[in-house]
Amino acid sequence: PAAMVASAAQLAQGHVPLEQRDYCGHHLLRLLRCHRDNFPVPWGCHALRHAWDSCQHQDYVMRMKEFERERRLRQRQQRLRRRRGDSEDS
């Protein structure tokens, strides 16, 4: 299970937008700090950007896997209910 590394107070203090306060917020905090510290040279933060993008991708993949798992479980439950209903009618 994913766990928040950065607290809500840290994310608020780092001026992270609400829509980006997710499980990858700690990576975004580091990236924003790097951008602020190296202002005229944004390409100095490439490794941090890659870490944040990777985290976002992994989070997306896990959410899609969980969605698919739950969808299959719902379909299985429906099949089982139909089978029970069909067998009770006979």
- Do the beta carbons of residue 59 and residue 23 sit within 8 Å? yes
Mean pLDDT of 17-25: 91
25-74 confidence digits (pLDDT tens): 999 999 999 999 999 887 889 999 999 999 999 999 999 999 999 999 99
Q: Is 38 in contact with 44 (CB distance < 8 Å)?
A: yes
Task: DSSP letter for 14, please.
Answer: T
Question: What is the reported pLDDT for 1?
Answer: 67
CB atoms within 10 A of CB 45: 20
Distance spanning both ends of the chain, measured CA to CA: 44
Query: The whole model's pTM is what?
Result: 0.78
Check whether 77 has a pLDDT greater than 60: yes
**pLDDT value, residue 89:** 61
Which residues neighbour 48 within 8 Å (Cβ) at sequence distance 6 or greater? Answer: 27, 30, 31, 34
